Structure 1
Amino acid sequence: MPFRRFSVVRLRRAEEDEIPDEAGYRRQVRDHLTANYIAQFVHGVFGMTGFRLILAPTFVPAYLFVLTESVFVVGLGQALLQMGAVVSPIVGASAVEHRRRVLPVAISIGWMMRVAILGLGLSGILLEGRWQVLSCLFFLALFGYYLGAQRVAFQMLMAKVIPVERRGGLQAGRNLLGGAVAALLSYYAGREIIERNVLGNGYAATFLISFVLTTIGLSVLYVMIREPNAPVVAERQSVLRRIRQFPDLLRHRSFRFFVSAQMLLTNGRVAMPFATIYAAEVVELDGTTLGLLSLVFLGSDTLANLVWGRIGDKRGYRAVMIGTGLLWTLGMALILSAGEVWQVLLAFAAFGAGMSGFMIGAPSLALEFGSAREVPMRLALSTSAETSMAAIGPLLFGGVAAMAGLTFVFVLTAMATGAALVVLLRCVEEPRAAAPHAGRRP
């Protein structure tokens, strides 16, 4: 896999061979905390801004619908975006768990994600007809594969260089600024770039902007970050052997139910692109409308980060996941009853606020169950479980929408998110209350 080949990444030779003990490791984390905090913050701001133009449930679904006028193809595109991410988190975890440094692998994964975005943009400008659609689907699948791997690698990197009590504030702060820029940029992209069909394809031009922004963020991370060697690493094992160990991880009762709740909640994320198509039944789905829906979605996502980060630091990330479930259930109820523009906008506000909670809460909560050595595979297992549902869901929902209509899709989703709430409340124990220091590393 390309992200295993990291020889092109220059390691900082002065620290490469130093293997500190636990006390020395903690000291290095403290000594480099300011630089690492800034590096993670800047990378997050530019990355969040760029990636949200791709991952928001507006531009890509609308692009595929414009190209094909098929709800099923919209679902297929979302499924391909997630299918690669089913296996890649496990491969990514296997690639980093035995290494004392995560950064080289993370940088390689990051570059491949940006190659996929560049291909998505260029193919939209250079190709036409069937080849344009096929290339779009291909680059979405490629992006999804490395998206799954990067969730493990970059979360591992953060876990190594940022103390657990500082992570919520960091994620909230960078998501706040990045989300604010993304919200404004998405509105501008919809109103000016897509509406005016810049470069002959306004959607493709928007994807190229995403490529530039995310590349800036990754470059800053590489230049600034100082990652200490891990004092203890897991034994190198094959991917298949690691998969066979998943049942051992699932013996942890709360983690097992957390994964179940995470899969149920994922249905809420899966249904959001279909909400964009449904909005066309209430308002005209032109560039300005897409920009407005994106502005509301990303704006609420951004503002909610202020709340989620504080809740995560003070109350734990289980509470964040519960809040996500409540908001997504409310959003589905709103979209089901929507007959006016303001109801659609309110539903997208609930979706966006819940999305930020999900993106902060799910990986952060997974970090806290069990021992520190299990962190890579816990992340891989929870991410693969989530993306499995996210890959199957769009195809299922696309078929349901084609046969029974979009209303039934939202009914099913509301039932799934409601069930996730029950599981979180009754079966998942807050890990900090059970074992305040389990699975943590400063």
Structure 2
Amino acid sequence: MALPPDSRDNDQKAERAYAAWVDAHLTRNYLAHLGHGLLGQTGFRLLNAPTFLPAYILLLSGGSNIAVGAILSLQALGMVLTPLLSANLIEHRPRVLPVGFSTGAAMRLMILCIAASGLLLQPTAALWAIGVFILGFGLFMGMQGVIFNFLMSKVIPVSKRGRLTGLRNFLAGITAAAVAWAAGEFLLGETPSVAGYSWTFVLAFVLTSIGLSLLLFVREPQPPRLRPRMPLIRRLGEIPALLRSDAAFTTYVLARALATMGRMAAPFYILFAGLEIGLTGSVLGILTMAFTLAGTFSNLVWGALADRHGFRLTLLGSIGLWILSTLALMASSGLLLTSLVFIGIGAAFQGFQQSAMNLTLEFGQRDELPMRIALANTASELAGTMGPLLGGILAAVLGYQAVFATSIGFLTLGGWMLARHVPEPRYRTASLAELKQPSGDI
């Protein structure tokens, strides 16, 4: 049913006023997001890099690959359970930043508890406690993934997101690499201890907490149109219709989830390398630095490519690089070659994460974005939950080579589906009309 002319005129005026407000506050919000991302990404990479935490769990568990896979899968499990709840919590709110502060603070508390577990508890008790806190970290991270991506879609125009995420991750990578090297050299040393890993995660808590405080400078607009508040069960009942209405988005969600299954190999890269070169603090620091620096410099390339050609292309490129790097790891030996492989893995990881996050924001209309983000993240993290657990079982039964081969299979299938069946959403101008905002000057 067509809207009356007066109603259409009012909607267009409201959209223009909203776009002008975003443009007027763009520099402030851009810099606030940049600072928040710089410190937040630096701290989170100490926890999420496939080096420190897997080695920490391996040490506490007495060398159990299954324990490594099972505990790390709890983070992804938490991230499965909360995105849809988070979307329902925020999509009717004029401003979402207050909810973001609450979930962000809870995430950082979980990091502190992971660190305290190693300092205060015996190894077996610490292992159980870390599992609980990793699950909690995943629960709040699943919420934050929806909230902060939606916030960015409100205050940063699509034409600026590639450069922002690229520059943010570039700067964070430099500081994360320096911090990782220092942690390996001074907190872990030649014989890494539980206390050394714990203090590394205390450092991650401090950095991410300072980063969160910088969001106090963000100015969030109230959108001209909001979804009415709806009970969660009723809102979930609308998901099948949403998926049926956009075949490209539905296929993208499935392709991204299949490719995310490739993440099953991530915890085992460092453990496989350790068989050849050992896992001293120096080795952990060097490989973590290689991983983070690769993400640092590659993010500038991914961001520039995405702004020019779209995030679909960079997502496909990151999947290809991920496959090649995994194959190279299976044939590498020595610290130098292994470091080069971790450079490729780091660049692929960052390209995949940055591209998948931003590509989701380009499907559909603004008032549907929280639910679309939640659906994509839920499917992706469901795969992320099963992946490390399956990887741990494969590593224990068949060895690391079987884990890497299975990972490559999932990456190949997800990449093929994305390339064959998902067109670049940026060019679907009708679907993106409500996301188009003035570019401003940055």
Q: TM-score normalized by structure 2?
A: 0.92
What's the offset of the Cα at 1:441? Answer: 4.7
Aligned residue in 2 for 1:12: none
Cross-structure match for 1:412 = 406
Q: What letter matches 1:57 in structure 2?
A: P
Aligned match for 2:377, one of 372, 383, 388: 383
Give a deviation string over 1:138-189, Cα, whole Å, max 9, x none: 1111111111110110011111111111111111111100111001111111
> Which of 104, 115, 121 is equivalent to 1:110?
104
Cα distance in structure 2, aligned partners of 1:270 and 1:301 = 19
Matches within 5 A, 1:27-426: 27-68=20-61, 69-195=63-189, 201-222=195-216, 224-251=217-244, 252-426=246-420
Q: Which amino acid aligns with 1:79?
A: S
Deviation at 1:236, TM superposition (A): 1.6
Distance 2:400 2:329 in 1: 10
Q: Which amino acid aligns with 1:275?
A: Y
Is the CA contact 1:46–1:213 (under 8 Å) kept in the aligned structure 2?
A: yes
Question: Do 1:191 and 1:287's aligned partners in 2 also have CA atoms closer than 8 Å?
Answer: yes
- Structure 2 distance, partners of 1:197, 1:225, is 43
* Offset at residue 365 of structure 1 (A): 0.7
SS in 2 for 1:346: helix
Encode CA deviations 1:365-410: one digit per residue, 9 max, x unaligned.
Answer: 1111122221111100000000000001111111111111111010
CA deviations over 1:285-316 (Å, ceiling 9, x no partner)? 11111111101111101111011111111100
Q: Helix, strand or coil for the counterpart of 1:281?
A: helix
In the alignment, residue 58 of structure 2 is paired with which amino acid? F
CA contact under 8 A between 2:264 and 2:390: conserved in structure 1?
A: no
Structure 1 residues 342 and 167, CA gap change in structure 2 (3 angstroms): same
Contact kept in structure 2, 1:93 and 1:380, CA below 8 Å? yes
Instruction: Name the SS of the counterpart of 2:303 in structure 1.
Output: helix
Give 1:269 deviation, angstroms.
Answer: 2.5
Give the conservation status (yes or no) of the 8 Å contact 2:115–2:199.
yes
**8 Å contact from structure 1 (residues 160, 441) kept in 2:** no
Provide closer, same or farther for how the CA distance between residues 178 and 361 of structure 1 changes in structure 2, counting only shifts above 3 A.
Answer: same
Output the amino acid matched with 2:417. Answer: V
Tell me, yes or no, if the aligned pair for 2:38 and 2:171 is still in contact at 8 Å: yes
User: How many residues get paired?
Assistant: 422
d(CA) in 2 for partners of 1:344 and 1:38?
A: 36
Cα distance in 2, alignment partners of residues 195 and 249 from structure 1: 53
Superposed displacement of residue 200, structure 1: 6.8
Partner of 2:8: none
Check whether the contact 1:368–1:439 (CA below 8 A) recurs between aligned residues: no
Report the Cα distance in structure 1 between the residues aligned to 2:111 and 2:335, rounded to whole angstroms.
Answer: 32
> Which amino acid letter does the alignment assign opposite residue 123 of structure 1?
S
Distance 1:198 1:341, change over 3 A: closer
Alignment of 1:426-437 (within 5 A): 426-435=420-429, 437=432
Mapped contact 1:125–1:199 kept (Cα < 8 A): no
**1:211–1:151 CA distance, 2 compared to 1 (3 A):** same
In structure 2, C-alpha distance between the alignment counterparts of 1:401 and 1:158, rounded to whole Å: 39
Amino acid at match of 1:202: G
Q: CA deviation digits over 1:89-127, x for unaligned, max 9?
A: 111111110100010111111000011011111121111
**Cα pair distance change 1:347/1:196, threshold 3 Å:** closer
- How big is each residue's C-alpha offset from its partner over 1:324-369, in whole Å with a ceiling of 9 and x where there is no partner? 1101111121122223333322321121101111121112111111
Q: Determine helix, strand or coil for the equivalent of 2:435.
A: coil
SS at match of 1:210: helix
The answer for the alignment partner of 1:4 in structure 2 is: none
Backbone CA RMSD of aligned residues: 1.6
Whether the 8 Å CA contact 1:300–1:350 is kept in 2: the answer is yes
Q: Distance in 2 between matches of 1:387 and 1:200?
A: 28
Q: SS state of the match for residue 300, structure 1?
A: helix
**Residue 249 (structure 1) shift:** 2.7
Alignment correspondent of 1:17: none
Name the CA shift for 1:283/1:315 in 2 (closer, same or farther; >3 Å).
Answer: same
Q: Secondary structure at the match of 2:94?
A: coil
Cα deviation, residue 250, structure 1: 2.1
Q: Answer whether contact 1:250 1:256 (CA < 8 A) is retained.
A: yes
The answer to whether the aligner puts 1:26 opposite 2:19 as a matched pair is yes
- The letter of the residue matching 1:32 is H
CA distance in 1, matches of 2:428, 2:14: 27
Assess, with a 3 A threshold, how the Cα gap between structure 1 residues 404 and 200 changes in structure 2: closer, same or farther.
Answer: closer
> Residue in 1 aligned with 2:435?
440
How many Å separate the matches in 2 of 1:391 and 1:242? 24
- Separation in structure 1 between the aligned mates of residue 429 and residue 303 of structure 2, nearest angstrom: 21
Which runs of 5 or more residues in structure 1 are unaligned?
1-19
What is the distance in 2 between the residues matched to 1:336 and 1:314?
A: 34
- AA in 1 matched with 2:49: A
Question: 1-side partners of 2:54 and 2:193: how far apart?
Answer: 20
Deviates most, 51-60 or 228-237: 228-237
What percent of counterpart residues are identical? Answer: 39
User: Which blocks of at least 5 consecutive residues in structure 2 are unaligned?
Assistant: 1-12, 438-442
d(CA) in 1 for partners of 2:188, 2:232: 43
Contact 1:196–1:202 (Cα < 8 Å) also in 2: no
User: Using the alignment, how far apart are the partners of 1:61 and 1:156 within structure 2?
Assistant: 31
Give the whole-Å Cα distance in 2 for the aligned partners of 1:236 and 1:441. Answer: 25
Match in the other structure for 1:15: none
Tell whether the 8 Å contact from 2:56 to 2:194 is kept in structure 1 after alignment.
no
